[in-house]
Amino acid sequence: MPRTGTALAPASVPPSGLPGLDPDWSRIVDVVESGLDDGTPAGATHAWHLLDNGEQLAALGAEPVGTILCVHGNPTWSYLWRDLVAQSTAAAADGRPAWRVIAVDQLDMGFSERTGVARPLARRVRDLDDLTRALGLTGPVVTFGHDWGGVVSLGWAVDHPEHLAGVMLLNTAIHQSDIEPIPAPLRLALARGVLGVGTVTTTAFLDTTLALGHPALPATVRNAYRAPYRTAARRGGIGGFVADIPVDARHDSHAELDRIAESLRSLTVPALLLWGPRDPIFSDRYLDDLSDRLPHAAVHRFEGAGHLIAEDVDYAGAALGWLVQATPPVEPTPLVEPTPLVEPTPLVEPVETGAEPVEAARPLWHYLDELLDSDETALIDMAPGTGAGPRVVSWRLLSRRVREIAAGLHQIGVRRGDRVSLLVPPCADLTAVLYACIRLGAIVVVADAGLGLAGLTRAVRGARPDHVIGALPGLMAARALGWPGQKISVNRLPTASRRALGVSYALADLISLGRDEELPEPPQPGDVAAVLFTSGSTGPAKGVVYTHGQLSAVSRALHAQYGVGRGTGLVAGFAPFALLGPALGARSVTPDMDVTAPKTLTATAVAAAVAAIDATVVFLSPAALANVVATQGELTPADRAALARVTSFLSAGAPVSEPLLASAAALMPGASAHTPYGMTEGLLMTDITLDGIREAARDDVASGPGGVCVGRPTATTRVRISALDETGAAVGALSEAPQVTGEIVVSAPHVKDHYDRLWLTDQAATRAVTPGERWHRTGDVGHLDAAGRLWVEGRLPHVITTAHGVVTPVGPELAVSALTGVDRAAAVGVGPAGSQQVVIVVETVPPAARVGLAEPALAEDVRLVAGQPVAAVLVVPHLPTDIRHNSKIDRTRLAGWAHGILTGARLTQP
């Protein structure tokens, strides 16, 4: 067909040898241009270059279940989607569901024809429609877009509901707020005198984009992206795309962008948003906007990834995995034979016990309603720096404050489902604010300062709070680092400080506004209540989402396991349990300590807290416990008498060794010493007493895999093991078989609901072999013994894969730590996976004066007890630990350091 119009450069195919690009995917398609409603004439024919694996699928005899229509942005081209084309084709070759992938080069871009005319957004959406009609493309179609190609792909999606099966997006923007400027890099590119020079005359815009890889793109890949843009004549489309950014309502493309954005709200097809938070152009605020328009979308934020997310992470594997779940099989030949519906297996097998029926779930604030007229003590705040001694809060006052703050929050516009980030250290104010948000139905976001400033920033930004309630340090960080949300101060601030920090209200203002105001209807058990961030000790902290029903189940589990309830005096040196006190009806106290630095807790502070509230139950973290034992010499006779009245003592947060637990038990001789096992995703999974630990050691059931015994599952918990293969992957079916090392997998009513904006992580964590049941993969490695007790052997990422099999770290570490002159030890793997060597790093007593190889005598002792061939023994003054718990050894950091030492790096502290 003859072409009309003038083309500056014809379409062509990419040169051979571009990494990852199969020449057989390339096609040139002639497309007749249709007219637009604005009177733009039809009739011109333009040649498109695209990647298409359709012929390869046909050669494999694979019938596609649908088509993925991929649209690149600026200044990339279809090369961006090469991994998706390759993985989809490979899946078909393996007999898995086959997707045809069509990745286009938009006109004036990539290796498609240069048309020489402006192509605003509406024209580009119509261009894509022209192409799909020329291809005869019908449903099911899933669109996939990145950057400005995300907008174009969504324009096609909303215009073709009859063919649309789903939408997928990488970093993009579909709407520009009237009150916020466009991203700074784009403002610069649009500046007078910069646009043409930066985008067309030179390669500045292209080079800047290609510098956004994390890690940096290999030179061969950068050159592949540059291949279609070698001359200024071929870069006109890059400038045209930038010029088409609708910076305000006067821009020609603003109306089309607005049409597409508003149309998204009516899309009900499955949606997937894969995001790189380090993008300087399309930041999380654009993800927030897309999430609001597509509230049903699955979202995964890849921490560390940026604008070129397709180069930073395995986006293709994530997308294809999502498609398996999100899109139904194509009729009339289903991919999977339908199975009859069956009743779901209960989380806990019914057992005839003769006990009273389990109490129905009650909201977390129910004791605040029941005790609103009680002058009994609800909590005592012993936080340092108050200057007036302990602060005693009655149930009456706490109940009134919670209601007033909740009503005040509602008066200033906080609604059910709004996210409220709490940047307040554990104290009476935090307790009141927390329960006010819970009662109102707002979602509390809790990420403590122990994550460090960078970790806290990632957490707060990723959780996209609508409001921030903070003490002064938190508000200063929020202002300096640009954290989102309306700012509310716990304390009244001077006017100048309020303005500088962007604070709208103080807590006292909310109390005043909420006084005598009615509260809205309470939230329901299935509503989301909280996003609690993990420690970040094995990677970026994850937001763990709990519903109201699940948090209530946590409090019921604690009550059932330990009898903590109405009238119990509870010392909470472990922040999660300090906040659960009112839900349990317990009078609670947080001892004088910095909760972000557990080692600041002393024995005298614990004794003072016990005496202040006549406590019978004490919760401490392992790091805090170690310092309590270390400072016991400072206890007075009165302190020891107070501690002797404690009847239950618990240490949670990391496995606790028998010697440490025994030393603590000696300080509280009347207490039953427990060390429950759990994590942010499930606070109470198993429990064991000191006597139980000793019994397990006497049974000698740990002679095989080793580890720390954490006891038997709690009443409503099931524990299974997924066995490891030789690569250290947990691939085995869920099993209760004894002495089998694998990933610990748990199920209970009080396990988290899901991870926040981490769809891929959530899928991995809930993956189980048992159909129809929901399990949480903990990431911990361990085994069950013949008596049904669980032993923790380490973390999945820390498993050492040697030529002789997998080695888990905790067993060797415990054996080495028992040696004279050794405080702690860490076992890490050095070398390539599958042939790693075991290296033991030792923290000596007294601390070593330098780092390096251990003395021969110590090295020999370590090798004798380690139970594994040990390639090297190193000594350090201090082992690195995670910044939140101060108790979990950072084995990943230590392994990298040990590798450097053994390969000749300079000797420095890890």
Between strands 99-104 and 45-52, the pairing is antiparallel
Q: Provide the CATH number for the domain formed by 687-749+769-798 in this structure.
A: 2.30.38.10
Q: Is the pLDDT of residue 384 over 70?
A: no
Under 8 Å between Cβ of 497 and 473: no
Average pLDDT, stretch 485-499? 94
Gap between the Cα atoms of 601 and 579, Å rounded: 18
Q: Is the pLDDT of residue 369 over 50?
A: yes
The partner residues of 651 in beta bridges, in order of sequence, read 620
Domain covering 563-675, topology:
Rossmann fold (3.40.50)
Q: What is the pLDDT of residues 441-471, one digit of tens each?
A: 999 998 876 677 777 788 888 888 999 999 9
Phi, psi of 301 (to 5 degrees): -95, 120
Average pLDDT, stretch 817-828? 92
Gap between the Cα atoms of 494 and 239, Å rounded: 49
Confidence of residue 660 (pLDDT cuts 50, 70, 90): confident
Confidence of residue 262 (pLDDT cuts 50, 70, 90): very high
**Dihedral angle, C-alpha 646, 648, 654, 657, nearest 10 °:** 80
Q: Write out the DSSP string of 696-721.
A: HHHHTTTTTT--EEEEEE-TT-EEEE
Under 8 Å between Cβ of 440 and 409: yes
Q: What is the pLDDT of residues 532-570, one digit of tens each?
A: 988 766 678 899 999 999 999 999 999 999 999 998 999
Gap between the Cα atoms of 849 and 851, Å rounded: 7
The CATH class, in words, for 26-326 is alpha beta
pLDDT score recorded for residue 2: 33
Single-letter amino acid, residue 776: H
Q: What is the mean pLDDT of the chain?
A: 88
pLDDT score recorded for residue 575: 65
pLDDT score recorded for residue 21: 97
Q: Is the pLDDT of residue 639 over 90?
A: yes
> CA-CA distances (angstroms) from residue 188 to 65, 128, 213?
44, 29, 20
**pTM of the prediction?**
0.87
In this structure, how many other beta carbons lie within 10 angstroms of the beta carbon of residue 890? 19
In this structure, how many other beta carbons lie within 10 angstroms of the beta carbon of residue 193? 7
Q: What is the pLDDT of residues 733-753, one digit of tens each?
A: 999 999 999 999 999 999 999
Gap between the Cα atoms of 512 and 505, Å rounded: 11
Give the DSSP letter of residue 807: E
Confidence of residue 593 (pLDDT cuts 50, 70, 90): confident
Q: Is the pLDDT of residue 528 over 70?
A: yes
Under 8 Å between Cβ of 426 and 578: yes
Under 8 Å between Cβ of 823 and 887: no
Under 8 Å between Cβ of 375 and 394: yes
Same fold, 26-326 and 563-675: yes
Which of 387 and 206 is assigned the larger pLDDT?
206
Cis? peptide before 426, omega within 30° of 0: no
pLDDT score recorded for residue 714: 93
Gap between the Cα atoms of 216 and 806, Å rounded: 33
pLDDT score recorded for residue 483: 81
Highest mean pLDDT among 72-81, 182-191, 526-535, 701-710: 72-81
CATH 3.50.50.60 is the classification of domain 801-902: no
Q: What is the pLDDT of residues 280-289, one digit of tens each?
A: 999 888 999 9
Q: Provide the CATH number for the domain formed by 363-375+400-523 in this structure.
A: 3.40.50.980
Which of 405 and 895 is assigned the larger pLDDT?
405
Write out the H or E segment, with its range, that includes residue 459. helix 452-463
Average pLDDT, stretch 5-10? 62
Q: Is the pLDDT of residue 173 over 90?
A: yes
**Domain range summary for the chain, segments of one domain joined by +:** 26-326, 363-375+400-523, 563-675, 687-749+769-798, 801-902
Q: Is the pLDDT of residue 353 over 50?
A: no
Which of 575 and 773 is assigned the larger pLDDT?
773
Contacting residues for 201 by C-beta, under 8 A, at least 6 apart: 232
Q: Write out the DSSP string of 88-149.
A: HHHHHHTTSPPEEEEEE--TTSTTSPB--S---HHHHHHHHHHHHHHHT--SSEEEEE-THH
The partner residues of 71 in beta bridges, in order of sequence, read 104, 145
